[in-house]
Amino acid sequence: MGAHRTDQVIIDFGNQFPAYREFGNEAISEIINEKKLGIYKISIAHLPKQKQKWLLRRLKHILDSNYHCYSLTKSAIDNALSLFSEFVSEHNCKGNIRNTINDLLILSTAIDREKKFLTNDNLLSRFAAEYYKAPVHKDDDQLLIDFSEKQVKRRENRESKGYINNGWSYALRNNRAFPKA
């Protein structure tokens, strides 16, 4: 699914952080939710055979496990940008900033879709538990925050430590039917 054909989410952080691009958000959701293995095979056909086999094994595991994939919504992206602003005012990002952004997009999607959020990431779990007043269940190294149990209350934003997101924006490209909420 070439970048010129598939859907894209592009987040611009001005000159504070590198731009973030996510390709195939809607396409992958549709492939997983509708079990469209054939379309996936076509989309990875340009890759080396070993890579194709590895990717197919991973997708088959997801499909066999009956996971559901939620695509990003505008409100989830808006919320993720707020979360990111708050996060960077208190914590350092992971070595690859993309991983931090991905974590916060997943967290904001769980909130937006009123789903459960399960993580092994200690810093992310502490941040999410502090930031949102939602039922939290701890089990060994995992933390489960259930955003479906009751109305989630967000803490008041603290003053930023110089991270001003007024210049931050996002764009959606080639989105067929971008979910509204």
Residue 23 phi/psi, 5-degree rounding, is: -105, 140
Query: Tokens 């190294």 — which residue?
Result: 141
What's the pTM value of the predicted model, to 2 decimals?
0.81
CB 22 within 8 A of CB 8: yes
pLDDT in tens, 82-109: 999 999 988 988 889 999 999 999 999 9
Of 33-42, 126-135, 165-174, give the range with the top mean pLDDT.
33-42
pLDDT in tens, 120-167: 888 888 888 788 777 778 877 777 888 876 655 565 555 444 334 667
How is the chain split into domains, by residue range? 74-160
Q: What is the DSSP letter of 64?
A: H
Query: Tokens 């924006």 — which residue?
Result: 169
Residue 79 amino acid letter = N
Give the CA angle between residues 37, 51, 107 to the nearest 5°. 65
